[in-house]
Amino acid sequence: MERLPSPENTGTPDPPVSAIKHARHAPQPHANAPRFRGLVRLARPHQWTKNLLCFAGVFFSGHIGELPSVLRAFLTFLVFCAASSSVYVLNDLLDKDRDQNHPRKRLRPIPAGEVSPFHARIFGGVLGAAVYFLVLYGNLNLFG
């Protein structure tokens, strides 16, 4: 076990014993668990700006001040974001082997090993299920 530097050598006091005990027993992330940052990168939120067009109808129809219309547009925005992200996850899963040899795409979460294919499938499935239930029970009437 490595010794902590003494105050004489570093000019800083030793940490309290209670801090050392808590640090030793702090929960460690599971080795195979995906990091939240990797899942966020996998969803590609920088692409969601295109989905802001869901608010165009409310804005140009003059209903921007009506809360039900704005909420419906916001729910539609969420559905489009989840749907596009689930397709991005599927694409990254299907292209994993090719992406590993590409100079830029190899840095994506799945080819880089930041998110395992198993966790990506779960994440994509959750996003797809969210889309399904939001469209089914969100009373969006997107297609008519």
* pLDDT higher than 70, residue 5: no
Rounded Cα distance between 90 and 124, Å, is 7
- Residues 98-133: tens digit of each pLDDT: 999 999 999 999 999 999 999 999 999 999 999 999
Q: What is the mean pLDDT of residues 65-83?
A: 92
pTM above 0.85, yes or no: no
Cα dihedral 105, 107, 113, 114 sign: negative
* pLDDT higher than 60, residue 50: yes
Of 20-29, 33-42, 51-60, 86-95, least confident by mean pLDDT is: 20-29
72: number of Cβ within 10 Å:
20
